[in-house]
Structures are given as C-alpha cells and as structure tokens.
Amino acid sequence: MPKKRLSGAALIIKPKRTRFKAGRKTGEQALDRLIALGPVDVVPPRVAVIVAHPDDEAIGAGVLLAEIPDAVVVHVTDGAPRSSATVRRRGFKTREAYAEARRAEVVNALKLVGIPEESIRCLNFVDGEATLRLVELCHDVIDLLLELEPEVVLTHPYEGGHTDHDATAFAVHLACGIMRREGVASPIILELTSYHQKNGKRVRSAFLTRKGVPERSLELDNDAQLLKARMFEAFVSQRDCLRDFPLQAERFRVAPRYDFTQPPHEGTLDYERFCATICGDEWRVRASRALDLLRARGRVTPNVS
C-alpha cells in the first residue's frame, strides 16, 4: 500500500470506506447531530474535543459530554504555567505538582459525565506557551486526527480570550486544512464557548458575533445545571476562575473561516489585559511565520522564533 508524506506525519493511504463520513456533510448538519440529545434515532458523531487547558471542556461542553461518553478529550497544555510565582499563588511548590493536580481534577470532573481517564489526553505544552510552538502543535494535532479519525473536532473560537485558546484554534484549523490539501478527508470543526473581551468587560459563555455562522444553544434544566456545577467544583485549584461562568446554557457553532494574521476584534484583547509576555501583535507575527512554514509541503522545521 503506498505511503504519502503529510506535512510531517506518515500517512497510510487506505481504500475508500465510511470513515470521516460526516466530513462530506455540511457543518450545520454536524452541529445538529452534535446537540440532538435524547432521540434514540440520532447517533452522535465521533467527537474529539481539543482544548487548551484542563477545565475548558467543562466550561464549554460539560453537560453535552454526558451524552457523548465515547468522546476523546485532548488538552494542549498541562494547565501549569512556568511562572513559579503563579504556581505558588495556587498553593503548589512546583510546576509539576500543579500540573499533576490539574490532571487529577479533570479526571474527576469528566468521571461525572462518564468519560474515563484513558480517554483524556494531554499534549503537555506549558500553560501560556502554546503560541511559541505553533508548528509543532499543528503537527501534533494532525497526528491525533489521523489516529482518532473523528467526524467532528470541537475546539475554541479565535477570539483573543487566551493565547493558548487562539493557538489551539490555529492548530486545529491548520491541521484540517493541511489534511485536505494532501487529499485526506478531515473532520468538521465546531466550536464551544470560552470568553473574550467586549467594551472593556470579559464576556463568558457566548461567542464573539459573526454574521451568518450557524449556532445552537443547549438550554440546561436544573439537573443539568447541578451536574455542570459539580464538574466545576471538581476543579479545586480553579474555583475562583470558574465561579463567574454561567450554568444556564452551552452554546456551539460551526467554525467560521479565520484570518489568523488579523485581530479577532477591534480594541484590547482579553489576554492583553493580563498577559505580560505575549501581546496581540506578537501573537499574529508568530501565527504569520507559522503559516509560511505550514504552507510548505512535506516536513517542516517546528521552531518558530
């Protein structure tokens, strides 16, 4: 069977079969399948959730995941920053201890919705540093998608909320684009909510408005809200961050096309208010350099300096 080089990942070309079936449907159809909870004749798509940090999946899709117990959840970072001061503020002596705690927290949270520990993966990037390794991250996502063969990948929107969120969105979009470029069917990209900046305030659990993009809302009843609250409580080290996220609904949409070399919106990005290391201009410069490297066919050097 012939082999083909896929931008750094070896790919076995297989005969046509039904894998990636949802990739031939519209994003809106996949979105409807994703949130069509309850009817026995609606089969959820195979889902890979690729998010930046342990707890992002609970924020954006915790209750939804209770209906998709076969989903694989992938965290780009281990949730622990390199800053020793930040680690100590969270009550830990070392970055490694903090990362271990965040892993235990997300395992406990996802156990509540039936997702076992073996279905929770981590790419082990340092929290806050995914932007520094965009090409490598993109290659890692390609490898994941080739292995898992999901119909849908659920990930962050590009909204300037957190540098790691935007880096994750970049890597997922570029990975799927490279797969299509190389003649390999790719999953449909759908998005969950996180947070962004608007008029000087942080907006949680709602998308930055984009006209004409299909969106669906999963309204949560009392039992579902209690489940989501229990998931939040499992993230002991993040309770002060999670307490302001609403519990009433989870929102999803078809991923729009992004120009990652342009700001996601006018004005100050949310991470520019808190992050002293990477501003929006630098993020976009790094994204532009990564784009140039990823446009090349075959293996590329994963360092973007």
Query: What does the pLDDT look like over 2-51, one tens digit per residue?
Result: 333 343 333 333 333 323 333 345 899 999 989 875 555 667 789 999 99
Tell me whether residue 7 is in a domain. no
Residue recorded with tokens 């990930």: 155
Q: How many structural domains does the chain have?
A: 1
Question: Helices 134-148 and 163-181, interaxial angle, to 10°?
Answer: 60
pLDDT at 180 over 70: yes
Tell me whether residue 304 is in a domain. no
Domain of residue 206, CATH code: 3.40.50.10320
Q: 133-142, 148-157, 218-227, 270-279: lowest mean pLDDT where?
A: 270-279
Please give the average per-residue pLDDT across 134-147, as a whole number.
97
User: How many DSSP H helices and E strands does the chain contain?
Assistant: 10, 11
- What is the C-alpha separation between 6 and 299, in angstroms, rounded? 8
* Length of the chain measured in residues: 305
- pLDDT tens track for 261-277: 999 999 999 999 876 67
At 119 the pLDDT is: 98
Pairing of strands 188-192, 215-219: unpaired
Model's pTM, two decimal places?
Answer: 0.89
Q: 50-54, 130-134, 161-165, 275-279: lowest mean pLDDT where?
A: 275-279
At 75 the pLDDT is: 98
Closest Cα to residue 76, out of 59, 61, 56, 92?
56
Tell me whether residue 155 is in a domain. yes
- What is the C-alpha separation between 40 and 161, in angstroms, rounded? 37
Domain range enclosing 185:
22-294
Q: 110-124, 172-186, 241-255, 289-303: lowest mean pLDDT where?
A: 289-303
